[in-house]
Amino acid sequence: MKIENAVPYLGALVTDIDVKRMTDDEWKTLYQSWLDGHVLIVRAESGREWLADRLREAGAQVEYASVYRRLMHAPSPEQRAALGACVATATDAATIMTSSEAVAALDSQLEQAQDLQAWLRQGLVLASHPRIAQALVSAGYGRVQQCEPEILQVAEAIGRAGRSERGRLLAESSPR
């Protein structure tokens, strides 16, 4: 990580740092290098609580600007039918989760289809961050692995899980 590349710009931090993967010591260094005690987080109507909590722990005063709204995807009848066909043929599920909020969103989308929900929970789920993996385990998903959401890493993770190269990637869930 290159904290020296973090550039304060009009009171905002412009950087290529992946803040979700920072250690506690890296956070402290970042805080000391640019925070003046006031932080505005631009977000949807909700979200970014983890970041806000870390900033508050460092003594920052955090405010939010809600500039967009996430809408829950409603699976079409064709999408539900395709998933149902996979369940009927005993095809294994492989799901990629890139958001903690997506865990609850996916469960909500499938609450009327308990068989699909159970099938996804039994399949392989690749989480892009430890907090997402924890949310999945807490929600009852059994086969959770952490994996970068990059094609090579996903293919390798599916391969390690005992699937062939032809294994199906059936769902990618991220709230919008």
pLDDT digits (tens, 9 = 90+) for 33-73: 555 677 778 888 887 888 788 788 877 788 888 888 877 77
CA-wise closest residue to 34 among 57, 65, 58, 63: 58
* Contact predicate 10/36, CB 8 Å: no
In our burial notation (b when 16+ CB lie closer than 10 A, e otherwise), range 74-94 reads ebeeeebeebeebeeeeebbb
Span 84-112, pLDDT tens digits: 888 888 778 888 898 888 888 888 888 88
Angle ∠(117,94,155) on CA atoms, nearest 5: 170
Residue 82's pLDDT band (cuts 50, 70, 90): confident
| Residues linked to residue 13 through DSSP beta bridges, in sequence order | 8
- Sketch out the chain's domains with CATH numbers: 3-68 (no CATH), 77-173 (3.40.50)
Helical packing angle, 130-138 and 100-109, nearest 10°: 30
Give the pairing type, strands 12-14 and 124-127.
unpaired
